[in-house]
Structure 1
Amino acid sequence: MKKIKFAAGRVEEFACEGGKSQSFLWDTTSPGLGLRVTSKGAKSYIFQGKLDGATIRLTIGDPRTWDIAKAQAEARRLKVLLDNGQDPRKVRDDALAAERDARALQEAVIVAEQEKQLLESVTLGGVWPEYIADRIATREAGWSEHHIAAHRKIIQDGGQPRKRSPALTKAGPLWSLSSLRLIDLTNERVEAWAREEAKIRPSSARLAWRLLKAFMNWCASHKTYSNMVTSNPTKSARVRESLGKEKRRHDVLQREMLESWFSAVRKIGNPVIAAYLQVLLLTGARREELAALKWTDVNFQWGSIKLSDKVEDFRMVPLTPFVAQLLANLPRRNAFVFSSPASASGHIAEPRIAHNEAVAVANLPQLTLHGLRRSFATLSEWIEMPNGIAAQIQGHAPQGVREQNYIRRPLDLLRVWHAKIEVWILEQACVEPVSLPALLRVVGA
C-alpha cells in the first residue's frame, strides 16, 4: 500500500498504474483515507477499515468537490464509528432513511394543508360549471342544449337584463346555495332550502332538486370532490316531502279547438315561428329536437326527417305533405330549418312568447309547447292509430317485450298513419290538406 501525506499537487498528479483497472494512494495523516483512480482517470476519496474482522470500503466523494481537509475529517468520523462498533454503511443508510421520512412527513403535512384549504374553499357554485363542462365532454351523458341551458339557469344570479323584456332576471333556485361549501351541504341545510323554495316556486324547485341530486352523485365519484361528499343530502325524505309531487299537466288541444288554434298561429308575424308551432303539433316532436332540425336532416325526395332523439341517437319520421310544404316555404338563412339570425345558436330559442299570445288571441286555455306534443298523442286516438306507431313517431321508448324485441316498422308504415293524422287534424282545423302530387310540385319547383 502506497502511503503519503495528501497534498493538492500529489492528488492531482496521481494516475492509475499501467495494466491495472484501478490504483490506490493512502493518506498517512488520516488512517483509512485513500484516493482511488481508475484506468479511465476517474478519481474519488474512499475510506477503508475493518469491522468484526471484515474489510469494508466506502466512497467519500470526488476530489473536485471534496477538498483534502474535508475528506480527512470525514475519514476520521467514519473511523470513530468503526471504533465504536458501528457499521458506517448502516449509519449512512439510516440517516438517508430518516431524511426521506422527514421529507415525506413534510410533504404529507403540505398535502394535508392543501386538502384542508380545498375542503374549506370549494363551493357549490365553484364546482357547478366544471360539472356542466364534464357532462358535455362525456358524450354518454346525452345532454341536449336545452338541458345544458337549464343547468346554467337554475343557479344563475338574478338582476341581469333580459333580451326581450325590461324586467330583470330572477335568481335561480340554487343560487342561494351556490356560495356554500360542499362540506356544508348537509341534510339540514338542503331541507331548509327545500322548505323555502317550495313556498314560492315548487316546480322550479323540484327541477333544481333533481339536478342537484345528480350533481352530488357526480361529486361522490369524483377523485377531487369525493372526500367532500360522503353522503347525498338531497336524498332526505324531508326534502321530498317539502317539494311534493309534480302535478300532471292536462293542457292539450281538443278536436274542437284546432280551428281556432291554427287560425291564430298562422297569423303570427314571424313565419318561422308559425311554421315551427304547426310542425310541432303535426309531428308530436319534442320542442328542442325540432328547433335544432337542420336542412341536411330533411329529405324532400324520400319524404323523411331525421330527428335527434334522447332515447336513441336519432329517429326517422315521415315528412308528411303539409309539413313538407311548410318547410319548403321557409328561408334558408343558415344550417337550421327554423333559423333565427338573432339567436346565438342560429335557431329559434324562445317561441313560447308568440305561442302564448296566439293562444290568448284564440281565447283558448293555457297551452304549453309540450302540450302540443301531448295533443298529438291524444288526437291520434281519433283515427285509432296503433299506440306503438304513435310512440315510435314521437320517440317514446318501446313498451313491452313485443315492441322492444320483435316489431321493426319501416318508415312507409309510419307514413300511412302519420299522413292520416295530418289530414284529419287539418280537416278539423278547416285547413286545406296538401296532396302528394302537390308536394312533388313544390319540391320540384
Structure 2
Amino acid sequence: MTATQTRFKFTNLKVKALPAPTDKDQSFYWDTETQGLGLRITAAGAKSYIVRGRVNGSGKDRRFTLGSAELLSCDEARKRAQVKRLEMLDGLDPQVEKKKVAAQSETLREVMEDYIEHKRTKNGPLRPSSKADIRRCVEGTFANWADEPVAGISRDACIKRFRELSKTAPVQTNQAFRNLRALLNWAREKSATADGVYPILPINPVSQMFKQGGMAQWNKEKPRTTRVPRDKIGAVFALLEQHSDPALNITTTCVSADMVAFMLLAGTRVSETRTLTWDRVKLDGKLPTFHIPGELTKNHHPLTLPLSDALHTLLTRRYENRIKGNNYVFPAMRGKKGYLFDPRAFLDKKVSGVAGTHLHPHAFRRTFEDVAQIVVVDSDQRRQLLNHLASDVHGTSYANNPDPAVLLPAMQKISAWIVQQGQIAKDAAKGENVIPMRA
C-alpha cells in the first residue's frame, strides 16, 4: 500500500513519528476513525491536517486545510473536520468561505496597491503615469473609502458619489469611476474560486450602475480641439524665443519656454517631452536625433525623430545650460522628480494671453499637425511624426520607414514655417512691413 493510500487511526505519537517523503513533493495519510480527516506531509517535513468531502447541492469535491499538526492535536483536528464536513453537508463550500473571509476585510487601498504592482496589460506593466492617476483617484476622489473594505462598496453608494462629483468635474468623475471599476473587478477576480464563484462583489457595482437602463449615465465628454490659432503661431513662437534667453530670464522661465517650444516644433506629448533625457538625444553626427522609448509613448511604440535646425538650436541651448547631475533636458529647479512636470503656470501667465485662448500642453501637438498640413506634409508622414500607427496594410507595411532621415525634410519644413512666422511677428512688433511666407 502506497503512502497516499495509507489509512490508520491517528494518534499524536503516530503522527509525530511519520517521516517526510523522499521521492515526492508530499504524502497523504487518512484517519480510519473520522471520515475525511487526512494528514499532509511535505518533502520539507511540514505536517498539516486536512479534511475532504463533497459540497451538498453542487457535488464538488473539496479538500480544506485545518491547520498545522504542530499546533493541533488529533482530537482537535477531528472536531474541526466534523465541523467542516457538516458545513459542506449544508451546502457551504469551504474554499469559497475561506476566500470570502479574506476578501471581506481587504480595503480599497490594499486592492489598489496589489493592482498597481501586479496588473499587466498586453504591453506589460502599468505606466508610472497610470499608477499615479489611480493612486490620486483612491487617495483623493475616494479618500473616505480608501481604508474601508471593498466588499462594502454598493451600487447605491457609487451612484450617490458619482452624481455629487459630476456637478463640478464631470470629465474627471468619469475617469475616477473607470479606475474604480477596474479596481473592483480586480478585487472580484482575486477572490474568485477556480469554479468561477465570486465570494464578494458578485456584480461590479460600478458596472451595474451604468448598465443599459441603469441608474446613471456617463457624463458627456467633448473631444478637445484646442490649438494655437494660425494667425497667432508666430507671436507665440516669438514669445517663447524671448523667454528662452538665459541672459534675460530666470532658469525656470527659460526651461518652461524651451519645453513649450520643443512640443510645438516636435509634436511630442508633454509626458514624452518632460521625461526626455540627454542619453536619448544625439546632437552630433550626420543625422542628429532624439528618441522616445516604447515605455514612455502612449501606444508603446518607440519613436526616433530627426532634429530640425530649429530643434537642434533649442537643444544645444539647453545642453549649454544643463544642470550638473541632472540628466533631464527640461530639468526642475526643485522637487523629487528631477524634471519640469508641467509648464502650465508659464502657459497660463504668458502664452495663453498672446494666443488669445487658454492653452494646455496638448494644444501644441495639434498645432504641430496643423502646421504640417499647411506646409503640405503628406498624411502618412504626419502619422509617423505623431507616432500614430495606421491599421491598414499600407500604413503598417509600407508607409512606416523606420529611418528617421526619411522624415527630416518634413521636420525641416514644419520648423522653418514656425520660425518664419515668429520672425514675421517680431518684425511686425517693430513696425516693419514684411511679406508672409507662403507654404
TM interval, short-chain normalised = 0.5 to 0.7
1:307 matches 2:292? yes
Indicate the residue corresponding to 1:318 in structure 2. Answer: 306
Structure 1 residues 411 and 189: CA distance shift in structure 2, 3 A = same
Indicate the residue corresponding to 2:410 in structure 1. Answer: 417
Q: Is the 8 A contact 1:253 1:371 kept in 2?
A: yes
Counterparts of 1:283-294 in structure 2, within 5 Å, are 283-294=266-277
Out of 416, 427, 430, the residue aligned to residue 420 of structure 2 is 427
Indicate the residue corresponding to 1:282 in structure 2. Answer: 265
Q: Structure 1 residue 373: deviation in Å? A: 1.0
* Paired positions, count: 330
Report the 3-state secondary structure (helix = DSSP H, G, I; strand = E; otherwise coil) of the residue aligned with 1:317.
strand
CA distance in 2, matches of 1:399, 1:382: 25
TM-score, normalised to structure 2, is 0.67
Structure 1 residues 105 and 422: CA distance shift in structure 2, 3 A = farther
Indicate the residue corresponding to 1:6 in structure 2. Answer: none
CA distance in 2, matches of 1:292, 1:213: 30
Q: Is the 8 A contact 1:293 1:336 kept in 2?
A: yes
Indicate the residue corresponding to 1:193 in structure 2. Answer: 161
Report the 3-state secondary structure (helix = DSSP H, G, I; strand = E; otherwise coil) of the residue aligned with 1:362.
helix
Indicate the residue corresponding to 2:400 in structure 1. Answer: 408
Q: Structure 1 residue 111: deviation in Å? A: 7.7
Q: Structure 1 residue 400: deviation in Å? A: 2.3
CA distance in 1, matches of 2:122, 2:224: 31
CA distance in 2, matches of 1:242, 1:196: 13
1:221 matches 2:189? yes
Structure 1 residues 96 and 335: CA distance shift in structure 2, 3 A = same
1:257 matches 2:222? no
CA distance in 1, matches of 2:190, 2:222: 34
Indicate the residue corresponding to 1:379 in structure 2. Answer: 371
Gapped regions of structure 1 (runs ≥ 5):
1-57, 63-91, 157-171, 433-445
Q: Is the 8 A contact 1:255 1:428 kept in 2?
A: no
CA distance in 1, matches of 2:157, 2:148: 10
CA distance in 1, matches of 2:181, 2:399: 36
CA distance in 2, matches of 1:131, 1:239: 27
Structure 1 residues 303 and 385: CA distance shift in structure 2, 3 A = same
Structure 1 residues 222 and 120: CA distance shift in structure 2, 3 A = closer
Sequence identity percentage: 22
CA distance in 2, matches of 1:250, 1:337: 28
CA distance in 1, matches of 2:103, 2:190: 14
Structure 1 residues 348 and 239: CA distance shift in structure 2, 3 A = farther
Q: Structure 1 residue 217: deviation in Å? A: 3.1
CA distance in 2, matches of 1:356, 1:239: 40
Deviations 1:95-140 (A, max 9, x none): 26565453445678898776454343222233212222223x8793
1:332 matches 2:322? yes
Q: Which residue identity does 1:390 align to in structure 2?
A: R
Q: Is the 8 A contact 2:381 2:407 kept in 1?
A: yes
Q: Is the 8 A contact 2:116 2:126 kept in 1?
A: no
Gapped regions of structure 2 (runs ≥ 5):
1-8, 14-29, 39-50, 52-77, 88-93, 244-248, 426-439
CA distance in 1, matches of 2:290, 2:185: 37
Q: Structure 1 residue 241: deviation in Å? A: 4.9
Counterparts of 1:65-144 in structure 2, within 5 Å, are 94-95=32-33, 97=35, 100=38, 101=51, 102=78, 103-105=80-82, 115-135=99-119, 140-144=123-127
Q: Is the 8 A contact 1:155 1:174 kept in 2?
A: yes
1:395 matches 2:395? no
CA distance in 2, matches of 1:154, 1:277: 28
Q: Is the 8 A contact 2:100 2:191 kept in 1?
A: no
Report the 3-state secondary structure (helix = DSSP H, G, I; strand = E; otherwise coil) of the residue aligned with 1:305.
strand
Report the 3-state secondary structure (helix = DSSP H, G, I; strand = E; otherwise coil) of the residue aligned with 2:339.
coil
Report the 3-state secondary structure (helix = DSSP H, G, I; strand = E; otherwise coil) of the residue aligned with 2:290.
strand
Counterparts of 1:235-246 in structure 2, within 5 Å, are 235=207, 236-237=210-211, 241-246=216-221
Report the 3-state secondary structure (helix = DSSP H, G, I; strand = E; otherwise coil) of the residue aligned with 1:222.
helix
Q: Structure 1 residue 316: deviation in Å? A: 0.9
Deviations 1:57-81 (A, max 9, x none): x9x999xxxxxxxxxxxxxxxxxxx
Q: Is the 8 A contact 1:142 1:310 kept in 2?
A: no
